[in-house]
Every structure is written in structure tokens, then in C-alpha cells.
Amino acid sequence: MQIKRLRLTGFKSFVDPADLVIEPGLTGVVGPNGCGKSNLLEALRWTMGENSARSMRGAGMEDVIFAGTATRPPRDFAEVSILLEQDAGEETEVVRRIERGAGSAYRIDGRDVRAKDVQLLFADAATGAHSPALVSQNRIGAVIAAKPADRRAMLEEAAGIAGLHVRRRDAEAR
């Protein structure tokens, strides 16, 4: 599975629609302090089903919506779209949208789905919201300092085994 395109509207500092094409291979994000590099990674994680406001560096989930600046009024929604190419070659679009006072919703190829459906889609591909494939500034140290058991969990995720664990937990809960 490969991420081909990321589209953001009203997400954190990305108030105007932004469209990023992601080429195959390793992608690095560079730019001056405060330009939105971490916000981009957070947009990916958020759309993959991240539901912890803290890991989005906010107090509440609505803090991902553009909050306004001295010259721009706040927005009342944020929307992020990830275009994926699955291993078989077909494309899938995953969209997450949040509106003030109305919560967030997910769509896969235009159909309304549960958070769980999106989380499973990405868990199977070892690219989920907590994937070691997404390395943010503060996680580089964590990988190096991790206890053996935690590092094993990271390796399992990188190897694509973690999706099986999610499915097993899901099956056991039924």
C-alpha cells in the first residue's frame, strides 16, 4: 500500500486547501520552524484514525480545526483526504472531516464508515496512525531509548504483523 496524495482543508495551519503528491520511496519534510511539518504528519495520523487529542498536541479534538490568526477568521471544519494505491493497484480515498460541535466522520471512497474500518485498513498495511514508518521529531529518541519489548512491538508493526493483532482483538471482542 502506498500513499499517493494528501489533501488538507482547514486542518491546523493549513487553512487554504493544500494538495501534496507523495512520490514512491522515502519522503522527508523540510522547512523553517513553525511552517507546518509536524502538522502534516498529524494530518496523516488523524485521518488514519488517531483519536488522542494529546498526540495531536491539542486539548480537545476540535483543536485540529484552523483556529484563526490576526488576519484570518477561524474555520468551522477541517477535512483531510488520503489517496492510497493498494497492492493490487486500485486506488482508495480515505477522508476524515470534523465540524465544530458536530464531531468527526470518516468516508472510504465516498461511503460513510466507522473509525474502526479506517483503523483496520491502515493496520493491515503497517502504515497506521502509530506506525514506526511515520517518524516525528520526538519519536526518534523514543525508538533509540525503547525497552526491548517496546522495540519488538515497533518491529512487529514495521513487519506488518500488528494488523493481525488488531484483527484478533476485534474478533475476541465479538
88-91: long-range pairs with CB below 8 Å, 24+ = 91/4
Interface size with ligand ATP, residues (CB under 6 A): 15
CA-wise closest residue to 8 among 44, 57, 56, 50 = 44
Q: Does 38 bind Mg ion (CB under 5 A)?
A: yes
Pairing label, strands 91-99, 18-21: unpaired
3-state DSSP helix/strand/coil percent for the chain, to nearest 5?
35, 25, 40
- Binding range to ligand ATP, per CB under 6 A, among 30-38, 85-93, 146-154, 160-168: 30-38
Q: Does 55 bind Mg ion (CB under 5 A)?
A: no
Touching ligand ATP, residues 113-142 (CB under 6 A): 137
**How many C-alpha atoms does 81 have within 13 Å on its Cβ side?**
16
Q: Does 13 bind Mg ion (CB under 5 A)?
A: no
10 is annotated as contributing to ligand binding: no
**Given 2, 4, 20, 38, the residue binding ligand ATP (CB under 6 A):** 38
**Given 67, 108, 113, 134, the residue binding ligand ATP (CB under 6 A):** 67
Residues whose CB falls within 8 Å of the CB of residue 9, separated by 6 or more in sequence, listed in order: 16, 17, 18, 77, 78, 79, 80
CB of 27 to ligand ATP, least distance (A): 15
Can you tell me the distance from the alpha carbon of 115 to that of 160, in angstroms, rounded to the nearest whole number?
20
**Given 17, 19, 27, 35, the residue binding ligand ATP (CB under 6 A):** 35
51 is annotated as contributing to ligand binding: no
**Given 63, 76, 85, 93, the residue binding ligand ATP (CB under 6 A):** 63
Specify the length of the chain in residues.
Answer: 174
Binding residue positions for ATP: 32-39
Q: Which residues bind Mg ion (CB under 5 A)?
A: 37-38
Q: List contacts with ligand ATP (CB under 6 A).
A: 12-13, 31, 33-39, 63, 65-67, 137
